């Protein structure tokens, strides 16, 4: 299982939107937390002026001290503050986060999709997206709820698992099974299906679209039933499925919005070709628009111990 939760913060209320979920995971899984703030070299340079005695080393030390002053009260807000460490690094935020997570086997990276406003914002297209694209660690991404979204402890009762019928997408299932047991969450498997594109071979040929739709639906239904049975055989009691007709990302977002306290879990890659789940497609759209936290598992990453 996860051995640590790495929580990058940039000092903004938006970046702190991940904290209720980090607290929930830490409490339920009983694992330590590391709060991380990264100071960019350009920021240090801006405040360095050797002509007036503002040397780089002194500026770095002052900024690190200020960052720790910010992080330590945040650490005190966790259920077990003694299991929370604070660290400050100098470097490019995304690179530091990815490298630090990679050096800690079994670390879950938990971060908000947005942070500081303006040029230093954390959003898809900047720090969060770079980490999403680069890390091999599992990643918990949370879209901030607003100014008051950082307090308290989140509550998650259900994990919505996005599948597309491919073995790659199924690599999300082992960690979901572990989390379901340890966090007492119901598991709901989701698969969206659309009708395949049919090439007409002659002017007078018209495919039976009703038959094709029925066959496509039955294949998806059989697949989901098989996966439900598989998880139940592994000891999970509350497992069900929902078959969705339409665009995968839109359907996943809609069903998540209709019920509260969900965790969405999905892989970064699924089917190959036009229907593949890649960053920029289903995964990124769900992360951008879902109001629920999204656990992203890279298909090439190793599973949990």
Instruction: Report DSSP state, residue 124.
Output: T
Rounded-to-integer distance, Cα 264 and Cα 257, Å: 11
- CA contacts within 13 A on the Cβ side of 295: 26
Q: Is the pLDDT of residue 279 over 80?
A: no
Helix ranges (DSSP H) in the chain: 19-29, 41-46, 56-75, 93-102, 127-134, 173-183, 209-233, 248-258, 282-289
Residue range 230-255: average pLDDT?
92
pLDDT at position 278 is 44
Class in CATH terms, 158-297: alpha beta
10 or 133, higher pLDDT: 10
User: What would the pLDDT profile of 182-233 be if each residue is shown by its tens digit?
Assistant: 999 999 999 987 765 555 555 555 566 677 778 888 999 999 999 999 999 9
Residue range 28-41: average pLDDT?
95
pLDDT at position 126 is 78
This prediction has a pTM of: 0.86
Q: Do domains 4-142 and 158-297 have the same CATH topology?
A: yes
Phi and psi angles of residue 6, each rounded to the nearest 5 degrees, phi first: -100, 120
pLDDT at position 125 is 45
pLDDT band at 151; cut points 50, 70, 90: confident
pLDDT at position 113 is 86
CB atoms inside a 10 Å sphere around CB 208: 10
233 or 130, higher pLDDT: 233
CA nearest neighbour of 277 among 269, 285, 265: 269
Q: What burial class does residue 169 get, using C-beta atoms within 10 Å of its C-beta: 0-12 exposed, 13-18 middle, 19+ buried? A: buried
CATH among 3.40.50.620, 3.40.630.30, 3.40.1010.10, 2.40.160.60 for 4-142: 3.40.50.620
User: What would the pLDDT profile of 73-96 be if each residue is shown by its tens digit?
Assistant: 999 999 999 999 999 999 999 999
DSSP conformation letters of 237-302: SSEEEEEEES-HHHHHHHHHHHSSSEEEEEES--SSGGG---TTSHHHHHHHH-SS-EEEE-TTS-
260 or 173, higher pLDDT: 173
Contact between residue 220 and residue 167 where contact means Cβ atoms under 8 Å apart? no
- The domain spans of the chain are 4-142, 158-297
């Amino acid at each position: 299982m996860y051995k640590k939760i790495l929580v990058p913060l940039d000092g903004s209320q938006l970046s702190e939107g991940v904290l209720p979920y980090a607290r929930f995971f830490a409490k339920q899984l009983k694992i330590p937390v590391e709060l991380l703030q990264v100071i960019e070299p350009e920021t240090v340079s801006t405040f360095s002026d050797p002509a007036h005695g503002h040397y780089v080393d002194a500026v770095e030390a002052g900024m690190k001290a200020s960052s720790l002053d910010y992080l330590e009260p945040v650490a005190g807000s966790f259920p077990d503050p003694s299991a929370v460490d604070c660290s400050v690094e100098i470097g490019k935020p995304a690179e530091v986060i990815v490298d630090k997570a990679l050096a800690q086997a079994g670390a879950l990276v938990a971060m908000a999709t947005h942070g500081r406003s303006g040029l230093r914002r954390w959003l898809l297209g900047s720090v969060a997206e770079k980490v999403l694209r680069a890390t091999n660690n599992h990643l918990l991404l949370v879209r901030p709820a607003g100014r008051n979204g950082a307090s308290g402890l989140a509550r998650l009762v259900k994990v919505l698992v996005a599948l597309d019928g491919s073995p790659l997408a199924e690599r999300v299932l082992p960690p979901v099974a572990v989390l379901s047991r340890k966090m007492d969450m119901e598991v709901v498997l989701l698969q969206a299906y659309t009708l395949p594109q049919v090439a007409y071979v002659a002017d007078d040929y018209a495919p039976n679209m009703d038959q094709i739709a029925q066959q496509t639906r039955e294949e998806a239904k059989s697949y989901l039933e098989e996966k439900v049975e598989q998880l139940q055989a592994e000891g999970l009691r509350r497992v069900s499925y929902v078959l969705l007709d339409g665009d995968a990302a839109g359907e996943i977002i809609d069903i998540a919005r209709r019920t509260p306290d969900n965790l969405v879990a999905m892989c970064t890659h699924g089917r190959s070709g036009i229907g593949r789940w890649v960053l920029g497609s289903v995964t990124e759209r769900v992360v951008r628009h879902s109001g629920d936290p999204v656990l992203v598992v890279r298909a090439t990453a190793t599973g949990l111990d």
